[in-house]
Amino acid sequence: MNGTSEATALLHALFVIAIVAEAMTAALAAGKREMDWVGVYLLGCVTALGGGSMRDVLLGHYPLTWVAHPSYLLLTGGAALFTIAVARYMHKLRNIFLFLDAVGLVVFTVIGCNVAIGLDLPVIVVVASGMITGCMGGVLRDILCNNIPLLFRAELYATVSILTGLLYIGGLSLNLHHDMVMAFAMAVGLMLRLLALRYGWSMPKFIYSGNVH
Amino acid sequence: MNGTSEATALLHALFVIAIVAEAMTAALAAGKREMDWVGVYLLGCVTALGGGSMRDVLLGHYPLTWVAHPSYLLLTGGAALFTIAVARYMHKLRNIFLFLDAVGLVVFTVIGCNVAIGLDLPVIVVVASGMITGCMGGVLRDILCNNIPLLFRAELYATVSILTGLLYIGGLSLNLHHDMVMAFAMAVGLMLRLLALRYGWSMPKFIYSGNVH
Amino acid sequence: MNGTSEATALLHALFVIAIVAEAMTAALAAGKREMDWVGVYLLGCVTALGGGSMRDVLLGHYPLTWVAHPSYLLLTGGAALFTIAVARYMHKLRNIFLFLDAVGLVVFTVIGCNVAIGLDLPVIVVVASGMITGCMGGVLRDILCNNIPLLFRAELYATVSILTGLLYIGGLSLNLHHDMVMAFAMAVGLMLRLLALRYGWSMPKFIYSGNVH
């Protein structure tokens, strides 16, 4: 929270890029479900901004990001609509979007940690706040598309967010330089996510075939 | 917000009629899923009051409507239970319920806009608040019934809400007479929704068959 | 709310036992969906703590339980992970977990009622707050597993919560001794739930095969 203004500006720029990328990926998910243009717009907004909104609601941190900065609703929704026009070319950009999604994951995580740090919350809640911010937009997208949330099954997605949060808050608690800590935590998280994508790493699954109740 | 008391009273009366109609339609959806009577009751409450609740939670606008007016929980839940007894006759009233659902859509939208206006929020958030209030009850109903939210696919549903909100806030920003603006916005929205139902108008769909990730 | 410290301590102890049991049952549901270990952890937390979180968000009652007591995130998540190791033995403990789930239902209900009573809310909202606390964790679990929420179909689940809440607030409003009222309401609710499980009691279902819209 006491980072340099350059670091803050960079984090903000990455945030804007990331919400655009998340909205565009969400638009493709909407297209798989044959939603109409309004649905595409809304799913883009919810996916890009839903994680931060859920964090703010759970922490009582008002106003929400899109209430304070309503232009994000136009940016993310517009990006989702734009995706309709360029969808046929997006498979060629698949790797770029996977990369941007990974960037978004660590950027959202750090921003979510910062919100909780700013509220003086305990370290476990800081990590949880980062993970909610980083991951819950995708969970909301999956629920609205009536899919089982991918988060609970995908390549180290939540794991990367938790690790990034732990490195970030751990480094800060050691009084290391904020910007260095932030860059290190994000770089490690980003690399782990990209390696997991490349080599298909995943957490072990729990497979249970008995009765639940 | 500075409407005459007659307009306020009419809006409130339409609100009560609309939440009853929404609860009754929700009861039929519960019956399709073979829910028990408690489920019917709860789905009625959630569908009728969930949009406003989601708006209030997102805007930090406490207390929620049903906390301040708990009788709405009895009214909507009771209407849902009553539906069980009259379900066999409801297909004859299908057009009336479609009409009341359209009335609810524009009434909820205007009420949602008013809440955001009362909080001095920017115009995009006012429109979003109207749309959340108008549409999200049905989204919650669809999620709880494990359906893909109809909102994202149905005849101009969210579009009508957004248009109604834009006309309402646009008219008010021109300093036109509140009651006239409200009546005009609601009438246009209602007519568009009814025409869309009658002629099967819908927004173009985005159909995408590639990989999302 | 003016119970003896012994009653408060007992209620708290039962709460801790119940959230552990709920997290363990949720872990089995995660295993049915072949979630990874992180998914198991998170679903345990959400199921055990989600009802109280939803109540607090709806009532504007901050901070949430797990924000004030983050160790609950470790306890419930840890219990969910532990379940992976012992899953093969859990069917032998099936009756114990059904019993603990029923205990959790009435304990969460009373705690939820107490929160609303502490906020001086009307009696209908007190009962609703108890039911949300008691039942909504399981609803969130079912949504995240992409199942139709069991609440709306299971043996008197929500009914037991509502009855427990009504007995509790009813007894308190008669100025009876708090601890007696609490014990009575919880005992009646627990017994009804166990009888419903034993004899397969359920609320009548509403089965509707016509069109909804």
| pLDDT single digits (tens) B4-32 | 888 899 999 999 999 999 999 999 999 99
Residue A212's pLDDT band, with cuts at 50, 70 and 90, is low
Judge contact between B201 and B155, C-beta under 8 A: yes
Residue A136's pLDDT band, with cuts at 50, 70 and 90, is very high
Residue ranges of chain C with pLDDT lower than 50?
A: none
Per-residue model confidence (pLDDT) at position B210: 77
Per-residue model confidence (pLDDT) at position A152: 67
Terminal CA-CA length for chain A:
46
Q: Which residues, 6+ apart, have CB-to-CB distance to C86 below 8 Å?
A: none
Q: Does A209 reside within a domain? A: no
Q: Which residues, 6+ apart, have CB-to-CB distance to A41 below 8 Å?
A: A77, A78, A80, A81
| The token pair that represents C114 in the structure block | 């107490």
Q: Does B208 reside within a domain? A: no
Give Cα separations from A15 to A9, B30, C54 (angstroms).
10, 41, 28
Chain B, nearest residue to A30 by Cα = B206
For B54, other C-beta atoms within 10 Å of its C-beta total 20
Q: Taking CB atoms and an 8 Å limit, are A144 and B147 in contact across chains?
A: no
Domain that holds residue B30: 5-199
For chains B and C, CB pairs below 8 A equal 100
Per-residue model confidence (pLDDT) at position C137: 93
Dump pLDDT digits (tens) for B124-156: 999 999 999 999 999 899 888 888 777 666 678
Q: Does C210 reside within a domain? A: no
Write out chain A residues lying below 8 Å of C30, CB-based.
Answer: 152, 206, 208
Q: Does C88 reside within a domain? A: yes
Per-residue model confidence (pLDDT) at position C92: 85
For chain A, the average pLDDT equals: 92
Dump pLDDT digits (tens) for B23-79: 999 999 999 988 889 999 999 999 999 999 999 999 999 999 999 999 999 999 999
Residue A78's pLDDT band, with cuts at 50, 70 and 90, is very high
Q: Does A129 reside within a domain? A: yes
Dump pLDDT digits (tens) for B75-116: 999 999 999 999 988 878 888 988 999 999 999 999 999 999
**Who among C29, C36, C62 is closest to A60 (CB)?**
C62
What domain count does chain B have?
1
Chain C, nearest residue to B67 by Cα = C125
Write out chain A residues lying below 8 Å of B152, CB-based.
Answer: 30, 33, 35-36, 38-39, 42-43, 144
Is C20 an interface residue toward B (CB < 8 Å)? no
User: What is the residue type of C57?
Assistant: V
Which letter, b or e, does each residue of C143-160 get, where b requires 16 or more Cβ atoms within 10 Å of its Cβ? bbbebbbbbbbbbbbbbb
Q: Taking CB atoms and an 8 Å limit, are B35 and C205 in contact across chains?
A: yes
How high is the ipTM of this complex? Answer: 0.91
Q: Given a cut of 80, is residue B1 above it in pLDDT?
A: no
Q: Does C205 reside within a domain? A: no
Write out chain B residues lying below 8 Å of C192, CB-based.
Answer: none
Q: Given a cut of 90, is residue A73 above it in pLDDT?
A: yes
Judge contact between B92 and B101, C-beta under 8 A: no
Write out chain B residues lying below 8 Å of C204, CB-based.
Answer: 36-37
Q: Does B205 reside within a domain? A: no
Q: Does C155 reside within a domain? A: yes
Dump pLDDT digits (tens) for A139-169: 899 888 888 777 666 678 899 999 999 999 9
Query: Among residues 90-149 of chain B, which lie with CB inside 8 Å of chain A?
Result: 121-125, 128, 139, 143, 146-149
Q: Which residues, 6+ apart, have CB-to-CB distance to B118 below 8 Å?
A: B1
